[in-house]
Amino acid sequence: MSPSALITFATLFIGLIRGPMTVEVVVSPPVTAVRVSLDGEVIAELEDPPWIFDIDFGRAVPHRLDAVGLDASGVEVGRTTQWINLPRAPTELEIALLRGQDGGVQAARLIWALVRPLEPREFRVSLDGRPVPVSDPARVELPATDDDQIHFLRASVDFDEGVIAANEVAYGGSMRGAMGRELTAVPFWLARGADPPTPESLKGVLHVSEKPLDVVAVERPTARVVLVVDTRAVEALLRIGTPSLGEAEPVVLSPSEAYWERRCLAGPRQGEDEVDVLDTSPSYTRRSGDYLARTFTSHECDDIDLGDIDVVLVRSIHQDIEPDEQLLSTATAIAGIAAANGSRRRAVVLVLGDADLPAPDISVGEMRAFLRAIRTPLLVWSPDPAVVAGGGLWGPIEDISTLMKLAATCRALRNRLRGQFIVWVDGTHLPQDITMAGEVPGLSLVE
């Protein structure tokens, strides 16, 4: 039995986790004791079953939860790790690199596991941003590459019921001869006119606990924007898109129908960025002890990119949810996790119809602090000038009360995201622990 099979978490935390919880681990011989650490600090030592302990996660921030299995001599024989409040999914996809006799990567094997048995429908693989055809997921032939350069291999598998599993691996360059290594993606803003950063220019700049990090690569991947739309704003948004109707019922299109209308009016798409819409009320709630699991449904807007955000907002019904059923702060925090999934350029847009929280929820301050910790920028918009003027607990709010203002705000978002880059550092680290030890002209961490 492999060391990872000797100890595993029986309690899995998915979604936004905060406050006190009870956690259980399952162990197998020769494990006779368990040591638990949260963010590197020992919080529990268990010597007898049941292997259960209490933990207080406090406010919503990312955490690393480690459980180490020890044998009778106190030697580590197994370890399992659970990342809390960071992107994860009920599906897992592994990418195995297949090498030739010369040690070069020739192909990749896709290996996946799901909570529920679903059939794969489509495979997508890209190498350094270029699509790679997939005829057999057990052996995906890769084009020849320069082994002196670092390469990024990404893969995703679409299953029935809209389930998607995705992963990425880096190899080559300083990783030559390795089967890939764990990396952490750190998003940065680059000021207009500034020189793009390089691993050399960032040497010694990024630190964790005052220790410098090895910068492996810098890239500008595609972007994902997640929209959170207050149901109290929907009517105003629809009327912005149909001003000639007066009091008549607006013509409402699905996102796909809206896409084709935009194609007729504004021309072809640009890029492969993605736009998702997250419901503001949980579609599924489950309580297990102290753990309250809330699932918010995300709607991927097929064939729609950043150039279509205004169309999505003014020509689509987003959700049939009563205002007092909404958990706007929680939904916005979870949208941040969804936007960061895949280590891409990211942003969350919250569209408000009223400045007040419609239902008891986590505070706006805690939500904003969480998004800063996971380094996902938040933009708040409103079609109501009174909400824009009030601001209040939400901070600055952009006015999108007319089609012209909405279009200008969307352009500003696209331009802003063009200046976002991803810096890859060696090792796995909590995003809030990574800091800049010095200044690089025109470069700043996303917060």
List the CATH number of the domain containing 115. Answer: 2.60.40
How far, in Å, CA of 417 to CA of 246, rounded? 35
Residues 176 and 270 reside in one and the same domain: no
Cis peptide before 431 (omega within 30 of 0): no
State the burial class of residue 163 (Cβ atoms within 10 Å of its Cβ: 0-12, 13-18, 19+).
middle
* 441 located within any domain: no
* 193 located within any domain: no
Residues 284 and 398 reside in one and the same domain: yes
Residues 55 and 9 reside in one and the same domain: yes
Residues 74 and 99 reside in one and the same domain: no
List the CATH number of the domain containing 43. Answer: 2.60.40.10
Residues 273 and 334 reside in one and the same domain: yes
What are the backbone dihedrals phi and psi of residue 211, each rounded to the nearest 5 degrees, phi first?
-105, 130
Residues 52 and 101 reside in one and the same domain: no
Domain boundary among 181, 211, 246: 181
* 40 located within any domain: yes
Residues 381 and 307 reside in one and the same domain: yes
Closest among 384, 350, 344 to 367, alpha carbons compared: 350
CA-angle at 363, arms to 359 and 369, nearest 5°: 145
Query: 295-330 burial, b for 16+ CB within 10 Å, e for fewer?
Result: ebebbebeebbbbbbbbbbbbbebbebebeebbbbb
Residues 308 and 297 reside in one and the same domain: yes
The answer to whether 121 and 165 are in contact (CB under 8 A) is no
The answer to whether 108 and 145 are in contact (CB under 8 A) is no
* pLDDT confidence of residue 309: 87
* 409 located within any domain: yes
Mean pLDDT by 10 residues, the chain (447 residues): 58 83 85 95 95 94 96 90 82 74 81 70 92 93 88 88 80 57 90 91 93 93 93 88 50 41 38 82 63 70 76 70 89 94 93 84 93 97 93 88 92 94 94 91 93
Residues 283 and 256 reside in one and the same domain: yes
The answer to whether 329 and 282 are in contact (CB under 8 A) is no
How far, in Å, CA of 218 to CA of 203, rounded? 12
* pLDDT confidence of residue 174: 60
Domain boundary among 84, 106, 138: 84
State the burial class of residue 118 (Cβ atoms within 10 Å of its Cβ: 0-12, 13-18, 19+).
middle
Closest among 107, 109, 121, 133 to 157, alpha carbons compared: 121
* pLDDT confidence of residue 319: 59
Residues 297 and 367 reside in one and the same domain: yes
Closest among 18, 12, 14, 22 to 362, alpha carbons compared: 18
* 437 located within any domain: no
* pLDDT confidence of residue 410: 93
Residues 278 and 254 reside in one and the same domain: yes
How far, in Å, CA of 374 to CA of 284, rounded? 24
Residue 77: domain span: 3-84
DSSP string, 304-340: --GGGHHHHHHH-------GGG--HHHHHHHHHHHHH
Domain boundary among 130, 162, 181: 181
The answer to whether 311 and 258 are in contact (CB under 8 A) is yes
Structural domain total, the chain: 3
List the CATH number of the domain containing 298. Answer: 3.40.50
pTM given for the model: 0.77
Residues 405 and 279 reside in one and the same domain: yes
The answer to whether 346 and 223 are in contact (CB under 8 A) is yes
* 98 located within any domain: yes
CA distances 413 to 170, 272, 378, 387, 419, Å, are: 29, 16, 11, 20, 10
* 100 located within any domain: yes
DSSP string, 155-211: EEEEEGGG-EEEEEEEEEGGGTTSS---EEEEEEEE-TTPPPP-TTTTTTTEEETTE
Element (H, E) at 55: strand 52-56
How far, in Å, CA of 287 to CA of 120, rounded? 30
Radius of gyration over every alpha carbon of the chain, rounded to an integer in angstroms:
23
* 102 located within any domain: yes
How far, in Å, CA of 174 to CA of 155, rounded? 22
Compute the residue count for the chain.
447
Helix/strand/coil for 42: strand
How far, in Å, CA of 400 to CA of 352, rounded? 10
- 355, 307, 374, 167: CA torsion to nearest 10: 140
Q: Hunting for tokens 């919250």 — which residue is that?
A: 350
How far, in Å, CA of 327 to CA of 333, rounded? 10
What are the structure tokens assigned to 201, written together?
A: 């220019």
* pLDDT confidence of residue 169: 80
